[in-house]
Amino acid sequence: MSSTAYFFQQFINALSLGSIYALVTIGLAMVFSILRLINFAHGDLMMIGSYAILMLFNAGLPVWTAILAGVAISGITGIIMERLCYRPLRGSAEMNTLLTSFAVVVLLENGAVLFFGPNTQPFGILNFIQPTLAVGSLLISKIDAITVVLTLAILILTALFIKKTTLGISMRAVADDLTASQLVGIPLNRVIVSAFFIGSLFAGLAGLLWSARAGKIFPLMGFIPVVKAFVAAVIGGFGSIPGAVIGGYVLGFAEVFFVALLPPDFQGYRDAFVFVLLIIILLVRPQGILGAKAMERRI
């Protein structure tokens, strides 16, 4: 394979991985910008979505129906999570809600071990899609292509939603000033629930794409992506939604090209590389790429 073709394939691969990170990170960022809550249980929504899709598919639902229903289940789980775990703590210290999110992680992951068993299960429901797409002499993974196109469409819709709709503007207003947004009459619960719902839908979708990439699912599968999404959020500037997207793609590219460009011996250090990147960013530019204003605002 020529080096150009190799580079191009890695480029698509990075775009695809970055897309998934972006989808996960948006949910994290939306909730954080409104509630100052880093919801580490966000990754478990990917897990719940993936298991739901697989179970519904195994129960005999057509694959697309199973996917839609599974993603919806992820979204609804997000709403339930907010209602049961975070709303009762509304207004308490950020440390309390952060610790609560860890508790939710433990609860959901152990619940999943209990219900689905601790073992890894094959996740091949998208295998009917032809593995590769030939573009001239290039072979592109079709799942990667779908991931990229779908994510771009979602990102554009999200941007329009946040920019143009009353609910989207309300979200930005609440992120700007919680007190003032209540005083002008923004229905706070509706905005918070919407943020959880949208973020959780995206997490469910990201879970599907992530699981299809990995070809397997397991109860603790949400841990790595949510920590990566956390890194992506830090890269982009925590709480900023454009920052979440940029951070997701930066991380996807950094990770893929770290593996692609270094000798094979280093490939096992992929995750270590990501967390070294996190440490460096926290040292050099803790506000992230787009976070400068946000940090000022918060102090």
Partner 1 sequence: MILQVTDLEVFYGNIQALHGISFNVEEGETVTIIGSNGAGKSTTLLTIAGLLKPGKGEIKYLGTSTKTLPADRIVRRGISLCPEGRRIFSSLTVYENLIMGAVQRRDRKKIRADVKWVLSLFPDLNSRLDQAGGTLSGGQQQMLAIGRSLMSRPKLLILDEPSLGLAPVLVNQIFNVIATLKNDGTTVLLVEQNARRALEIADRGYVIETGRITMEGSSTFLKSNDQVKSAYLGG
Torsion of CA 105, 111, 112, 118, to 10 degrees: 110
Regarding 298 and contact with partner 1 (CB under 8 A), the answer is no
Amino acid at 206: A
Question: To the nearest whole angstrom, how small is the minimum distance from the Cβ of residue 196 to partner 1?
Answer: 18
Footprint of partner 1 on residues 117-176 (CB under 8 A)?
Answer: 166, 169-170, 172-173, 175-176
Please report where in the chains the tokens 């195994």 appear, as a residue: 58
Would you say 92 or 182 has its CB closer to partner 1? 182
Q: Give the x/- contact pattern for partner 1 in 179-198, rule: CB under 8 A.
A: xxxxxxxxxx----------
Q: Give the DSSP letter string of 197-261.
A: HHHHHHHHHHHHHHHHHHTEE-TTTTHHHHHHHHHHHHHH-TT-HHHHHHHHHHHHHHHHHHHHH
Based on the shown chain and the rule CB under 8 A, indicate whether residue 96 belongs to the binding site for partner 1.
no
> What minimum distance in Å lies between the beta carbon of 190 and partner 1?
9
| Binding residues for partner 1 restricted to 231-270, rule: CB under 8 A | none
Provide the token pair at 59: 């129960």
The single-letter code of the amino acid at 53 is: I
Nearest to 135 by CA among 3, 1, 8: 8
- Give min distance, CB of 183 to partner 1, in A: 5
Q: Closest separation between CB of residue 6 and partner 1, Å?
A: 42
- If the CB atoms of residues 207 and 243 are measured against partner 1, the closer one turns out to be 243
Dihedral of the CA atoms 103, 104, 109, 113 (nearest 10)?
90
Q: How far is the CB of 192 from partner 1 (least distance, A)?
A: 12
* 297 binding partner 1? (CB under 8 A): yes
Q: Please report, as ranges, the residues that interact with partner 1 according to CB under 8 A.
A: 166, 169-170, 172-173, 175-177, 179-188, 293, 297
